[in-house]
Amino acid sequence: MSAPQPSGSLRHFFIIVGIGYYAPVDAVSGKRSSHLKSLLGATVDADAMLTYINSLKFPQPPRVYKLTSSIPTLQGSKEPPEPEHERPTYENIVRVLRDVTTAVQKDKKGIVHIHFSCHGIRVKTSYPQIKGQTGFDESIAPYDYNRAGRPLRDVELGMLIQNMTKHGANVSTTFDCCHAGSVSRGDEDESSSESENENADLDECDRTSNTRGGSNAAYGPEQWRNSTDPLHVADELIHPFKEAWGDKKMQHDSTWLLPVGYDMFGACCLDEKATEEAYGGKYNGVFTHTFIKVLNEFRVEGRTPTHERIRKRVLSSFRKEQIRQTPVFVGNSGRHWLRVTNGSNVPSLSVITADASRVILSEGQAQGVTKGSTYAIYQSLDEPIGDISDKPLVEVVQVVADKCSAKWVTQPCQVLIGAEAVLVKYQLDDLRIFMSPGTPRSDTFNASKYDELRQFTTNHDSDMIEFIEDPSSSQCSTAPFTVFVNTDLKYQLTRSSDGAPIPMFPQSESADRFHRYLTQLARFETLKKLHNPFYSEQMEDCLEIHINGRNIMSYCAWEPSQLENLPPLDVKPGKVVVKLRNRIKDTLNVTGINLSPLWGTNIFHPLDEDFDTIPGYHERQTTWYVDRLPEYWDKTTGYVDCVKFFISGKSLRINTFESVVMDPIDKAITGTFRGGLDLEELLLDLGLPDRGFKRRSDRESPEASPWITLMFKIRTVAEEG
């Protein structure tokens, strides 16, 4: 099979920066309060990246800019063997970035990839107008940082790269460096006093660091201040940069550089270290080594991967080798590597290991994988996603923090390491309820009541509720509700966190009736947390919502944000007017649900059969009513509704929601609540995102439609007087 090559007439540009040797302080430059160790593998990374580039064929000869600083080879020398104009100083890095921008601007387009292997550091911000007076800049440490004290700051690098994209460049980046998180970045404290550094030479110990980050650096001596003025921020970039970096918003994110119009691969999260290891007798950055290995695998296999597939396979390799850092990616996950085209990028997991009894997959609780979900194994990326009639299937049986174990649903077969596991059925977690061991009257009576409820649940095969009876169980802490028998001999539900009764939740002496109440609660809670695990970026910001004349987008959160973190929007009791405006040219289909704390679920629109269809750039208006505060209601908390919109590119019918509306208390609940093939059946059965998967006899793949949910709080305030 021939290897895929970058296609099209666009010229490719590569900027490769490998900073292995950091120039020591000298008498001319003065003293430094921070001293960065040299890295053994950074220039090896740069050479490996260049070797990979030379293995590819391009429609036009690529332009390659390589800036490296190797450890001096001459005895007693403090200068790297590279010529000065090829060393990765601050000035040379900025010059090369600008030269490539000029070349792209001349051609009006181009494909650019930028690679850094070096130290990452954190310094006091030089952009207080963006990050505040107490902010900090995550930075690249150039070769001459120990001498000049001038880092390449995140804002500067962001501006330089965005300027490329503005002139027609399609940019991707890889950073094999610590992104200067909240911990020290070396095996030991790399900072030292000024007196210690004044005449310090780079000794052998300095050359054996196996992490790529310096300690948090302060400003240097006063004479350096004027020579380290940062690049000026264009006025049009101040607002978007402030939105992203202001108030240290990026401090707890997984990456520090904001990709807008470009794509970024990073070696690790903010609170982790990028490491070096020896491969074949030479040190490499672990991330760069794995990244290039994965690219070569795709090249040999004749596959054209998307960025997401590269990330998945790199992550799978890290998990298999138990490497304690987490590669990250931000940007257009569907874009083909070194191309401008986008591929079919169905989100998936990667196979880490597989045998006849189980398959280990690359993601876990942190990524939202749930027990009971089913995945189809695709051995080849070139296979069309959608037809699973001949695909092996596995079901997740155990989920831990960063991976999961699955059993075979179909016959076991040989699976390639790195094969894609595509989600077929998404199983929502059951509602966990703890059975309190409290005994208001007697052990015998209490046990019999619990036995009755337990037996009723077993007989009716309830697959939405999971009772937990062992208080020492690890699952006990995840049960939000507790059921017990009160002094009136009735089943009662409380919050596990503080033991407070659930407002308006009915009590009952009957296990049958109380079980129906719990099932309604399970459906209510399921609707609240229901979201598409394949977060659909193309649906984001497509809808503008006004309530009682106020634009509430600042109050909203696209799933999977936590509802508890959202501030409620206060309204007075009575009529609430909702206006929805479609902000895109395509038709949107929107259905809203009001999730009331009175354990009722109401559809407040569409009011007629066609209301949920909103043509491009059109708007619709509807109303719903919120009740007055009950006389006995705690006025300090108010009455809070959870309003949830389901937004899709596919038409929804009003009867889709008939089975998720809370049944009358005296009506028995029948039917199942799992499964489905598209968004309609998802909302009907509460179990499966719209993947469009089904076993088919023909080869035609069913149509899939992206969808997303939007959720916010409405709090009814007491009327004056």
Write the pLDDT tens digit of every residue in 676-691: 233 444 444 433 333 3
**Residue 137: predicted pLDDT:** 85
Enumerate residues 6+ apart whose C-beta is below 8 A from 511: 449, 452, 453, 455, 456, 491
**Residue 674: predicted pLDDT:** 27
Confidence of residue 52 (pLDDT cuts 50, 70, 90): very high
Tens digit of each residue's pLDDT (9 = 90 or more) over 417-442: 878 888 777 666 667 788 776 544 44
**Residue 468: predicted pLDDT:** 78
Listing from the earlier edge strand, what are the strands of the sheet with 550-551?
Answer: 550-551, 543-547, 574-582, 619-626
Q: Given a cut of 90, is residue 395 above it in pLDDT? A: yes
Tens digit of each residue's pLDDT (9 = 90 or more) over 11-21: 999 999 999 99
Does residue 440 have a cis bond before it (omega within 30 degrees)?
A: no
Instruction: Please tell me which residue, 158 or 649, carries the higher pLDDT value.
Output: 158
**Residue 287: predicted pLDDT:** 96
Nearest to 337 by CA among 304, 315, 377: 304
Instruction: Please tell me which residue, 432 or 337, carries the higher pLDDT value.
Output: 337
Report the alpha-carbon distance of residue 115 to residue 18 in Å, rounded: 8
Q: Given a cut of 70, is residue 352 above it in pLDDT? A: yes
Q: Are 271 and 181 in contact (CB under 8 A)?
A: yes
Q: Which of 157-161, 288-292, 557-561 has the highest mean pLDDT?
A: 288-292
**Residue 688: predicted pLDDT:** 30
Q: What is the DSSP letter of 317?
A: H
Q: Given a cut of 50, is residue 356 above it in pLDDT? A: yes
CA 436-439-441 angle, 5° bins: 150
Decide: helix, strand or coil at residue 586.
Answer: coil
Q: What is the DSSP letter of 444?
A: H
Give the number of C-alpha atoms closer than 13 A to the C-alpha of residue 122, restricted to the C-beta side. 19
**Residue 689: predicted pLDDT:** 32
Least confident of 68-72, 373-377, 492-496, 656-660: 656-660
Mean pLDDT score, 168-174: 94
Least confident of 147-161, 434-448, 597-611: 597-611
Listing DSSP states for 79-138 in one string gives S-SS-GGGS--HHHHHHHHHHHHHHHHHHT-EEEEEEEESEEEEEE-S-HHHH-TT-EEE
Longest dimension (CA), the chain: 90
Nearest to 359 by CA among 298, 308, 314, 410: 410
Instruction: Please tell me which residue, 421 or 70, carries the higher pLDDT value.
Output: 70
Mean pLDDT score, 1-13: 62
Q: Given a cut of 50, is residue 115 above it in pLDDT? A: yes
Confidence of residue 495 (pLDDT cuts 50, 70, 90): confident
Report the alpha-carbon distance of residue 326 to residue 304 in Å, rounded: 24
Q: Which of 130-134, 292-296, 329-333, 502-506 has the highest mean pLDDT?
A: 292-296
The Cα-based distances of 64 to 35, 47, 88, 114, 225 in angstroms read 31, 12, 14, 10, 33
Tens digit of each residue's pLDDT (9 = 90 or more) over 604-632: 433 433 346 788 888 888 776 666 655 65
**Residue 650: predicted pLDDT:** 57
Mean pLDDT score, 532-543: 62
Mean pLDDT score, 524-545: 65
Does residue 606 have a cis bond before it (omega within 30 degrees)?
A: yes
Q: Given a cut of 60, is residue 555 above it in pLDDT? A: no
Q: Given a cut of 50, is residue 668 above it in pLDDT? A: no
What percent of the chain is modeled with pLDDT above 90? 22
Q: Given a cut of 90, is residue 22 above it in pLDDT? A: yes
Tens digit of each residue's pLDDT (9 = 90 or more) over 55-68: 988 878 999 999 99
Decide: helix, strand or coil at residue 287.
Answer: helix
**Residue 337: predicted pLDDT:** 92
Enumerate residues 6+ apart whose C-beta is below 8 A from 706: 532, 536, 538, 539, 648, 649, 690
Decide: helix, strand or coil at residue 3.
Answer: coil
Tens digit of each residue's pLDDT (9 = 90 or more) over 203-247: 322 323 466 665 444 333 333 333 456 787 777 777 767 766 654
Least confident of 223-227, 323-327, 658-662: 658-662
Report the alpha-carbon distance of residue 203 to residue 38 in Å, rounded: 10
**Residue 692: predicted pLDDT:** 33
**Residue 609: predicted pLDDT:** 38
Q: What is the DSSP letter of 31?
A: -
Report the alpha-carbon distance of residue 252 to residue 254 in Å, rounded: 7
Mean pLDDT score, 341-358: 78
Mean pLDDT score, 29-58: 84
Least confident of 7-21, 101-115, 180-194, 704-718: 180-194
User: Terminus-to-terminus CA distance in the chain, angstroms?
Assistant: 80
Confidence of residue 574 (pLDDT cuts 50, 70, 90): confident
CA 85-88-91 angle, 5° bins: 70
Mean pLDDT score, 108-124: 92
Mean pLDDT score, 336-341: 84
Nearest to 145 by CA among 65, 68, 196, 220: 220
Report the alpha-carbon distance of residue 655 to residue 609 in Å, rounded: 10
**Residue 99: predicted pLDDT:** 97
Confidence of residue 595 (pLDDT cuts 50, 70, 90): low
**Residue 247: predicted pLDDT:** 47
**Residue 185: predicted pLDDT:** 27
Q: Which of 19-28, 433-442, 518-527, 663-672 has the highest mean pLDDT?
A: 19-28
**Residue 350: predicted pLDDT:** 82
Q: What is the DSSP letter of 458?
A: H
**Residue 384: predicted pLDDT:** 59
